[in-house]
């Protein structure tokens, strides 16, 4: 048994969906989250900067008594996984590999992937999917409008609908069997995206496969928290998170949450 914390990282608020699921499925674990909202969006940053940002986050978290790191950011998973593992030196899970394993099980053969520019340019989803299923058709699209709007706390309305229409209209012609939300921020719009496609396209929320993987991995490594009491949740952000407050209220019903803003990790 191991009573140290499980850490979750992302460029902003997107990874909080992973925290919510982990909180529900691993109630005794202490969970710590770092969202680098001062430098969001990561998707438009250079590979070198993303790698440096990831290293700084991990160095901060390694001082917080953590036992496991969950990379809830597709952009960091696609371009900085090696840096994170080398810096952390503890068990680490990225969001992409569990998603690829899930897609393989579904048997889908025509997939859309929407993500940040950095993730799409890395070509990691298409490469890994075709390693598993050679015949699979992958249609990738960067959606740079999404994260800045979501980070403003806009989860529905005309601006959201317009961003979805302008970014995803080509998929109505392509008609994929499923679309991968290749950025955990996008899960905030999961219902709106599903509605846009009239529920005719399976929407794959990448938060779900990574949580399933982490639960199993922690069990296999025998590093579960041995306490019988409900674990705490610590949320750290590199900038103000005032605009997230309503989102927090909708996402969490747990009073045992500590929120720290304007954390300097540079």
> Which of the residues are catalytic?
73, 183
- Report the run of H or E that residue 165 belongs to, with start and end: helix 158-168
Tokens of 178: 């499923």
Q: What is the DSSP letter of 232?
A: P
Contact 14, 205 (CB under 8 A): no
Helix (H) / strand (E) element for 151: namely helix 146-151
Q: How far apart are CA 173 and CA 244, in angstroms?
A: 35
**On the CB side of 21, how many CA atoms lie within 13 Å of its CA?**
21
Could you tell me if residue 71 is left (phi over 0), alpha (psi between -120 and 50 degrees) or otherwise beta? beta
**10 within 8 A of 184, measured Cβ to Cβ:** yes
Distance of CA 148 to the CA centre of its chain: 15
Are 40 and 116 in contact, with CB atoms under 8 Å apart? no
Strand partners, 237: 35
């Amino acid at each position: 048994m191991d009573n140290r914390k499980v850490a979750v990282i992302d460029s902003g608020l997107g990874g909080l969906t992973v925290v919510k699921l982990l909180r529900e499925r691993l109630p005794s674990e202490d969970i710590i989250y770092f969202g680098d909202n001062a430098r969001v969006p990561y998707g438009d940053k250079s590979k070198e900067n993303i790698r440096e940002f990831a290293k700084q986050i991990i160095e901060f978290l390694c001082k917080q008594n953590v036992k496991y790191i969950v990379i809830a950011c597709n952009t960091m998973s696609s371009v900085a996984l090696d840096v994170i593992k080398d810096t952390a030196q503890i068990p680490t899970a990225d969001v992409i590999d569990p998603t690829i394993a899930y897609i393989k099980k579904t048997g889908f053969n025509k997939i859309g992937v929407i993500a940040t520019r950095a993730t799409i340019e890395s070509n990691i989803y298409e490469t890994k999917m075709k390693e598993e299923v050679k015949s699979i058709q992958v249609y990738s699209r960067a959606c740079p409008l999404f994260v800045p709007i979501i980070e403003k706390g806009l989860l529905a309305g005309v601006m959201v609908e317009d961003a979805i229409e302008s970014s995803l209209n080509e998929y109505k012609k392509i008609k994929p069997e499923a679309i991968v939300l290749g950025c955990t921020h996008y899960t905030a719009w999961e219902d709106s995206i599903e509605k846009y496609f009239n529920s005719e396209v399976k929407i794959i929320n990448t938060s779900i496969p990574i949580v399933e993987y982490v639960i199993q991995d922690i069990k296999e490594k025998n590093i579960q928290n041995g306490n019988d009491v409900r674990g705490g949740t610590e949320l750290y952000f590199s900038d103000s998170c005032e605009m997230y407050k309503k989102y927090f209220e909708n996402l969490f019903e747990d009073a045992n949450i500590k929120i720290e803003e304007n954390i300097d990790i540079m």
